[in-house]
Amino acid sequence: PIPQSKRWLYSTAAFKNGGAFKSFAIDVVIVGSFVAFNASEFGRDFYDGIETHYGEWNVNFWGTFLITSIFFWAWGAVFAIPDLTGYPAWLFKYKTQPFVRVDLRQYVNIALISLRNQVLVAGPLLLATMYIGPLKP
């Protein structure tokens, strides 16, 4: 178990020395960069080129589904791999529940449930939203 003083989310150390402000500032920079890119001519040309090459439907459905799925699995792997291997140990302080270790069998079950939800829930819901309320520029 990780002592309370070493836990990132469960101690006030995460908010001391401007921790919350730094996190907010990083979020503002990321969101601001995304908005600036989308508002720029380069961003519009980039998206127009993708849409011309792949088609509007493919970009809206498969692009959205793939981007969200890849982000989900990649970010999950950041915590799953250290949890399974025990390395690097410094990452454990950032886990939501640092005192809980999950074994391989539980991870396989979690992964199968997540994959099922992505295919049987997220995919059809995305498809439904495309037909119910088409995206507008």
What is the rounded distance in angstroms from the CA atom of residue 37 to the CA atom of residue 34?
5
With respect to residue 104, please indicate whether it lies within any of the assigned structural domains: yes
Question: Pick from 65, 76, 64, 62: which is nearest to 114 by CA?
Answer: 76
Q: What is the pLDDT of residues 43-81, one digit of tens each?
A: 999 999 999 999 989 998 999 999 999 999 999 898 888
User: What one-character DSSP code corresponds to residue 10?
Assistant: T
Q: Structural domain of residue 12, as residue ranges?
A: 4-132
Q: Which range in 63-67, 80-84, 87-91 is most confidently predicted, on average pLDDT?
A: 63-67
* Torsion angle of C-alpha atoms 90, 96, 97, 102, degrees rounded to 10: -80
Residue 9 pLDDT exceeds 70: no
Predicted confidence band of residue 91 (pLDDT cuts 50, 70, 90): confident
With respect to residue 137, please indicate whether it lies within any of the assigned structural domains: no
Looking at residue 9, its amino acid is L
Cβ atoms of residues 79 and 91 within 8 Å = yes
Give the predicted TM-score (pTM) of the model: 0.68
Structural domain count, the chain: 1
With respect to residue 30, please indicate whether it lies within any of the assigned structural domains: yes
